[in-house]
Amino acid sequence: MLSEVFAMAIETILVGLAFALVQLIFGLVLAMGSVYIGLKLFDKMTEHTDEMAELKKGNIAVAILLGAIIFSIANVVEGGVSSLSASFTKSLSGGEMLAAFVIGLVNLLLGVVLAVFSIYIAINILDKITVGIDEFKELKKGNVAVAIIMAAVLFAVSFVIRGAVAGMAAALSPTALASALGWA
């Protein structure tokens, strides 16, 4: 009897660890994919600047801005990844788990789109506010002060957008969606 209880406990632990490992791998893939997409979209926005060439030259200002972009995207996307990971619980039925997966993916994709869009808007607004300063020319010259201000704006915007993404995630219920779609 004691050995059966012990075996069940070990099985529960192993299933939980396997579940957590899958969540970790999935979250890592989604996070890195989001950062890659975000950097590629940012690269499209800055057609006249070759960020990788600037990094190879040791341009700290460009490195600061790219780091801020990565952090900002990750900050926003973390809300989507967290909701996706948290929505997978062993208590959900198969249909509810599928609904949780769909909700999480939609939330994550929305987070990436909002992150990149908010970065684009924030940089454009900063450009309008800072009359007489061409931020991207200053970055190419290695102006660290401009990079720090741009990074701070991106950080601030990402915290606000993250709250919106988390709010959307909290409003969606996998159980309700599964029922509505006939998956439950």
pLDDT score, position 59: 95
Q: Which residue has the higher pLDDT, 184 or 118?
A: 118
pLDDT score, position 138: 92
With the CA atoms of 157, 158, 163 and 166 taken in that order, what torsion angle do they form, in degrees rounded to the nearest 10? Answer: 150
Give residue 101's pLDDT band: very low, low, confident or very high (50, 70, 90). Answer: confident
| 129-173 pLDDT, tens digit each | 988 998 888 998 999 999 999 999 999 988 888 887 777 766 766
| 3-28 pLDDT, tens digit each | 888 888 888 888 778 877 877 787 78
Which residues 6+ apart lie within 8 Å of 130 measured at CB? 149
Which residues 6+ apart lie within 8 Å of 153 measured at CB? 122, 123, 126
pLDDT score, position 184: 63
pLDDT score, position 149: 94
- Average pLDDT of the chain to the nearest whole number: 81
pLDDT, mean of residues 63-86: 81
pLDDT score, position 48: 76
